[in-house]
């Protein structure tokens, strides 16, 4: 630092390294997660005080565009505006393109590597172009974790594969596509969150592997993405004794400085994962966590529990000498360099919200439908019989593991409407609603059939692994439930949306004549295609490559 700073200027500079969370909706009353999404009054004050980044969630693409413009007006400096749009902008903001999860490309890569790589690059380009048109300049992806643990409750289908080679090939292709749009990228979660069986939103996971194993598996994709020019790296809240016996990766200088900076030669931005997550917040206060992360080598502090406390703690560390002033200079310089590589509102971006009515270009819509078609899987297509007509009545039993209201199961979702048109009545089971289980039943007959009613049962499972759910979904005995229905001759069919490991486990227990489909995606496109194939037997043999163009 070439000259002394007064307290106000020091706080402003530190504040520019803080990233806070906001709703994509304009009104405070529209916030879906008020625990984390700051109200407008607080948000406006913090941006005026110099906070330099916002992560957004919720609303439509048009609302996001306007929201980004508003946030930028409230600030007196260019902002880093980002979102967790790992499956395209439509995953978080309606009206944009929602793509199948990255794991779908990994399964395609097993049988057609060249096509998977080409599609992964288009995936990145689609994501970046739409993010930029909506006002974002930073995409928090790709996920570089190698999901080689099927029990992983939080990464799962977000990963681009379960082997280092697949993850490297696909994430680097995604990076090329995203980079071509002028939007910043982010490799996460360093040094690798794939081989964990607990959720760092709830607990601090332990990764017990030695350094040789970490080099061969976890670190390999990050090395490749750094070589490919990835703009930022997000830390993981993981305890890894082989790297640091005392502190988790987010707070570890051995991990963020010695390994990531010095050994892997990463020169871009390092951003923490959200510090509000329980893996950190249950052990360290907001100020202490921010100070330790900054000392360890993080340039940007994402979602501290208390923004003012985080700024004050870093300022105190700089003033008392426990934090070197060079850390502040380095972080500010990296932020400036990153912003110089992108523009929040480029000349070719939409300036009028009305221009976003047709945000999804024809080629992006085609990409979405192609990926859904290529990733749809059917078990025993030659042996399966047509879906039995429900006759006097049938049950469309749907299990959703996400939060309510569910983005994948609106009132007009194909998972509801198509079976209902075929004569099934829908029954939704969710932790906040109906439970289909009878705890007093034997382990091989867990379903409370009296709650379901009579007739054949079509089972649709929306299970993919979601943050904050931990072990809850894994404890449900769906394998035994399907066996129970089969013994009674009541299982009409099965569709699994999301987790491939759930599909592989359950489909192997089915009678070969039972029609069953799997789709990694859970959106309307995926539901419609799976159920059209299930309910229209003459279409089950349709070529999955139909409509592909590269």
DSSP 247-284: S-GGG-HIIIIIIIIIIT---SEEEPPPTTSHHHHTTS
How far is Cα 53 from Cα 332, in angstroms, rounded to an integer?
13
β-pairing, 53-57 with 18-23?
Answer: parallel
Could you give the 3-state DSSP secondary structure of residue 332?
helix
Contact of 50 with 86, CB cutoff 8 Å: no
How far is Cα 85 from Cα 93, in angstroms, rounded to an integer?
9
Tokens of 157: 């289908």
Running DSSP on this structure, what letter comes out for residue 206? B
Examine residue 332 and say whether the peptide bond preceding it is cis (omega within 30 degrees of 0): no
How far from 237 is each of 147, 262, 289, 290, CA to CA, in Å?
16, 20, 12, 13
Contact of 186 with 231, CB cutoff 8 Å: yes
Q: Which residues contact 41 (CB under 8 A, 6 or more apart)?
A: none
b or e along 443-457 (b: 16 or more beta carbons within 10 Å of the residue's beta carbon)? eebbbebeebeebbb
Lateral strand order in the sheet of 377-378: 377-378, 516-519, 491-498, 457-463, 394-400, 424-429
Examine residue 277 and say whether the peptide bond preceding it is cis (omega within 30 degrees of 0): no
With tokens 């007196």, the residue in question is 76
- Residues constituting the chain: 550
Running DSSP on this structure, what letter comes out for residue 362? H
Running DSSP on this structure, what letter comes out for residue 531? H
Instruction: Let me know if 352 is a catalytic residue.
Output: no
b or e along 484-493 (b: 16 or more beta carbons within 10 Å of the residue's beta carbon)? bbeeeebbbb
Closest among 102, 2, 6, 11 to 48, alpha carbons compared: 11
Q: Pick the catalytic residue from 145, 273, 299, 525.
A: 273
Count of alpha carbons within 13 angstroms of residue 146, beta-carbon side: 21
Q: Pick the catalytic residue from 65, 189, 193, 201.
A: 201
Distance of CA 24 to the CA centre of its chain: 17
How far is Cα 268 from Cα 233, in angstroms, rounded to an integer?
8
The helix/strand count (H/E) of the chain reads as: 19, 14
With tokens 């009409």, the residue in question is 492
CB atoms within 10 A of CB 333: 11
Running DSSP on this structure, what letter comes out for residue 129? H
How far is Cα 31 from Cα 41, in angstroms, rounded to an integer?
13
Closest among 291, 226, 292 to 259, alpha carbons compared: 226
- Catalytic annotation, residues: 201, 273
């Amino acid at each position: 630092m070439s000259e002394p700073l007064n307290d106000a200027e020091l706080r402003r500079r530190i504040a520019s390294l803080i990233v806070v969370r906001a709703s994509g909706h304009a009104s405070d009353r529209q916030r879906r997660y008020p625990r984390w999404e700051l109200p407008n009054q607080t948000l406006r004050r913090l941006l005026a005080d110099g906070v330099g980044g916002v992560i957004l969630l919720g609303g439509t693409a048009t609302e996001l565009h306007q929201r980004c413009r508003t946030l930028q007006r409230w600030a007196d400096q260019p902002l880093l505006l980002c979102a967790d749009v790992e499956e395209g902008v439509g995953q978080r903001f309606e009206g944009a393109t929602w793509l199948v999860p990255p794991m779908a490309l990994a399964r395609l890569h097993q049988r057609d590597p060249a096509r998977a790589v080409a599609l992964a690059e288009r995936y990145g380009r689609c994501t970046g172009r739409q993010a930029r048109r909506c006002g974002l300049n930073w995409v928090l992806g790709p996920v570089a974790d190698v999901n080689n643990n099927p029990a992983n409750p939080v990464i799962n289908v977000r990963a681009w594969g379960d082997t280092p080679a697949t993850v490297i090939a696909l994430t680097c292709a995604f990076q090329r596509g995203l980079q071509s749009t002028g939007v910043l990228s982010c490799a996460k979660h360093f040094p690798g969150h794939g081989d964990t069986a607990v959720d760092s939103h709830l607990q601090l996971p332990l990764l017990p592997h030695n350094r040789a194993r970490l080099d061969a598996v976890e670190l390999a994709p990050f090395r490749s993405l750094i070589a490919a020019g990835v703009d930022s790296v997000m830390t993981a809240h993981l305890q890894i004794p082989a790297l640091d016996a005392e502190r988790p990766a987010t707070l570890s200088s051995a991990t963020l400085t010695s390994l990531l900076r010095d050994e892997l030669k990463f020169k871009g931005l390092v951003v923490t994962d959200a510090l509000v997550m329980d893996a950190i917040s249950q052990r360290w206060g907001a100020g202490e966590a921010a100070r330790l992360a900054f000392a360890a080598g993080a340039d940007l502090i994402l979602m501290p529990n208390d923004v003012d406390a985080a700024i004050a703690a870093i300022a105190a560390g700089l003033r008392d000498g426990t934090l070197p002033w060079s850390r502040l200079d380095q972080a500010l310089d990296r932020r400036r360099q990153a912003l110089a590589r992108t523009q929040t509102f480029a000349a070719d971006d939409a300036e009028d919200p009305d221009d976003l009515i047709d945000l999804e270009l024809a080629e992006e819509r085609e990409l979405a439908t192609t990926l859904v078609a290529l990733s749809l899987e059917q078990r025993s297509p030659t042996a399966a019989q047509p879906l039995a007509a429900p006759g006097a009545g049938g049950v469309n039993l749907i299990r959703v593991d996400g939060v309510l209201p569910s983005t994948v199961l609106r009132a007009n979702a194909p998972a509801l409407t198509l079976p209902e048109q075929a004569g099934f009545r829908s029954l939704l089971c969710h932790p906040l609603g109906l439970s289909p289980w009878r705890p007093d039943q034997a382990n091989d007959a867990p379903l409370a059939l009296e709650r379901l009613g009579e007739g054949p049962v079509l089972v649709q499972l929306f299970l993919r692994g979601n943050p904050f759910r931990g072990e809850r979904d894994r404890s449900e005995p769906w394998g035994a439930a399907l066996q129970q229905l089969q013994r009674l001759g009541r299982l009409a069919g099965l569709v699994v949306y999301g987790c491939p490991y759930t599909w592989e486990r359950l489909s192997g227990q089915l009678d070969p004549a039972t029609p069953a489909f799997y789709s990694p995606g859970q959106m309307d496109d995926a539901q419609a295609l799976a159920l059209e194939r299930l309910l229209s037997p003459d279409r089950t043999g349709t070529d999955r490559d139909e409509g592909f163009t590269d």
